[in-house]
Amino acid sequence: MKARDHIQNALYFMIDPFVRLLIRVGVTPNAVTTIGLVLNIFAAIIFIIGGEIGRPGNLSYIGWGCGLVLFAGMFDMLDGQVARKGNGSSRFGALYDSVIDRYSELIMFFGICYYLVSHHYFITSLIAFIALVGSMMVSYVRARAEGIGIECKGGFMQRPERIITIGFSGVITGILSAFSGGNQKVYIEGIPFHLMETMSLFFVALLAVALFSNITAINRLRCCHDKLMK
């Protein structure tokens, strides 16, 4: 079993009591999915407010927004478990979950990009947009492959990894800014520009998502090519 599967099973074990509670009170899988979407909308609102009224260097909005993104991501795990253990699985439910997940991710990236552009993090905003493109293509290649009868689930930067990478890096960035200041920069003697700053952690996380999500999408496409050309 892969390390990813071990981690996933451990997370499922931890959320199992909450899953059983939701089933007991009659919450449907689609309702759980919808809650995740609403939470992502609120996360985007936090980013937008931070872009509009946040002071330069105040990265707390990134921390709070990404904290809510992580919380919303939990519902992405819950809906599938509620469907399976509550015998609520349906073909429409699977479609609804997939569509709402795409909306949630688009809304999240919109909020992040809005904040970054508003505070003149131009390069980081471009990286965030590339991460958005890669995230959508990972799902799109899989959907198109399954539409022609090919299973295509491999790759590293799938939705859980993307949410965890962006969410935790944003929370840590917000915490660091509270102690060191959002404008803290590290210089090396003799180099006329700063080597890193408080925002660098969030930048690196977005860069990792941008890089590995697109690599995953391309590898899935290559895998489909190899299967179709045999």
Residue owning tokens 């009591």: 17
pLDDT tens digits along 63-114: 999 999 999 988 888 887 888 887 777 888 889 999 999 999 999 999 999 9
| 149, two tokens | 């009868």
Tell me the residue length of the chain: 230
The pTM assigned to this predicted structure is 0.88
Q: What pLDDT sits at residue 112? A: 97
Q: What pLDDT sits at residue 189? A: 57
| 144, two tokens | 């198109």
pLDDT tens digits along 22-35: 888 888 888 989 99
Average pLDDT, integer, range 41-47: 97
Whole-number Å distance between alpha carbons of 15 and 199: 32
**Would the pLDDT of 190 be above 70?**
no
Banded pLDDT at 2 (limits 50, 70, 90)? low
Q: Helical H runs in the chain? A: 3-25, 29-53, 60-85, 91-118, 122-147, 159-180, 200-228
Residue owning tokens 């660098």: 200
Amino acid in the structure at residue 132: L
Q: What pLDDT sits at residue 212? A: 95
Residue owning tokens 């899989």: 142
User: Which class for 167: exposed (0-12), middle (13-18), buried (19 or more C-beta within 10 A)?
Assistant: buried
18-31 burial, b at 16+ Cβ within 10 Å, e below that, comes to ebeebbeeebbbbe
Q: Which residue has the higher pLDDT, 202 or 57?
A: 202
Amino acid in the structure at residue 12: Y
Spatial CA neighbour of 64 closest among 54, 77, 56: 54
